Chain A
Amino acid sequence: MKDETAAEQATGRAELINAVGLHARPSVKLTQLAKTFDCRVEIALSADGPWVDAKSPVKVMRVKAPRGAVLHVRASGKGARAAAAALVSLVRDGFGEAMDQPADQSHG
């Protein structure tokens, strides 16, 4: 167990600011980004969990977090700090999507 206590750990949080929250495309982007890191990366809607594997596209999509929700990120293992920082900045940047509420919700 000593590896676990010695492992690099990091947490972060960011509000979902893009128009429709963690819907299909943002979920895919978040998963793809998480997969670029070797460490364990998880997300949750509360600091108390439940934590979901950020590398699982199906589990991330099922979180269904709306705009305004705060996404918590935690990572452990090699590169954990970089992973947590990268996910937080993806969320803060609104996944590169529109920030305004679309009139027709067409890109859900």
Chain B
Amino acid sequence: MAKVGIVIVSHSPKIAEGAADMVRQMVGDSVNLAYTGGDPGGGLGTGVASIRDAIDRAWSEAGVAILVDLGGAETNSEMAVEMLDAERRGRVVVCNAPIVEGAVMAATEASGGSTLEAVRRTAEELSPQ
């Protein structure tokens, strides 16, 4: 059965890569995982096109959960989701969760074969109620 894929979007490429390292080392490699961060000039930033690429890399029939850090990471992720074709759009969610802990928890949930909604719920359990 397909497992939900995870995308990590940070303004900082180092944070995106580091969070992805934590997922791989703690959870293993049974879930699709992609990350993106930084602008082409080497500075901080996020871009809609690179987020779309990350969604493609992490794509799973079970859907994709995106973990973001601040502001533009969230709005650009939402725009990237909007640009997907209708058939995929409904299977990608942006989680309201801390990026590092959320990515590890979401991937743990996904590794057990949980649904996209369950993966999102687990990541969002970390947010202040």
Contact A24 B126 (CB under 8 A): no
**Chain B residue nearest to A31 in the complex (CB):** B108
What are 21 A-B residue pairs whose CB atoms fall within 8 Å in the complex?
A: A24-B26, A25-B25, A25-B26, A28-B104, A28-B108, A31-B108, A32-B27, A32-B108, A35-B111, A35-B113, A35-B114, A55-B112, A56-B122, A57-B108, A57-B109, A57-B122, A58-B105, A58-B122, A58-B125, A58-B126, A59-B125
Binding site for A on B (CB under 8 A): 25-28, 104-105, 108-109, 111-114, 122, 125-126
By a CB distance below 8 angstroms, the chain A residues around B27 are 28, 32
* Chain B residue contacts of A105, Cβ below 8 A: none
Most buried by A among B27, B108, B125, B126: B108
Given contacts A24-B26, A57-B105, 12 further A-B contacts (CB under 8 A): A25-B25, A25-B26, A28-B27, A28-B108, A31-B108, A32-B112, A36-B112, A56-B122, A56-B125, A57-B104, A57-B109, A58-B125
B112 touches A35 (CB 8 A): yes
Q: Which secondary structure characterizes the binding site on chain B?
A: helix
Residues A28 and B112 in contact, CB atoms below 8 Å apart: no
Instruction: Tell me the bound Cα distance from A55 to B112 in angstroms.
Output: 9
Q: How many A-B residue pairs have CB under 8 A?
A: 34
A95 to chain B, nearest CB (A): 12
In the A-B complex, list the 3 residue pairs whose CB atoms are closest, starting with the nearest.
Answer: A35-B112, A57-B108, A58-B125
CA distance A55 to B109 in the complex (A): 8
Residues in B whose Cβ lies below 8 Å from that of A32: 27-28, 108, 111-112
A59 to B126, CA, bound (A): 10
B109 surroundings in chain A (CB, below 8 A): 57
Max count, chain B CB within 10 A of own CB: residue among A25, A32, A59, A61: A32
Contact B112 A24 (CB under 8 A): no
Complex partner residue of B112 from A25, A31, A58, CB under 8 angstroms: A31
Chain A residues 37 to 91 lying within 8 A of chain B, measured CB to CB, are 55-59, 61
Chain A contacts for B108, CB-based, 8 A: 28, 31-32, 57
Q: How far is the CA of A74 from the CA of B92 in the complex (A)?
A: 35
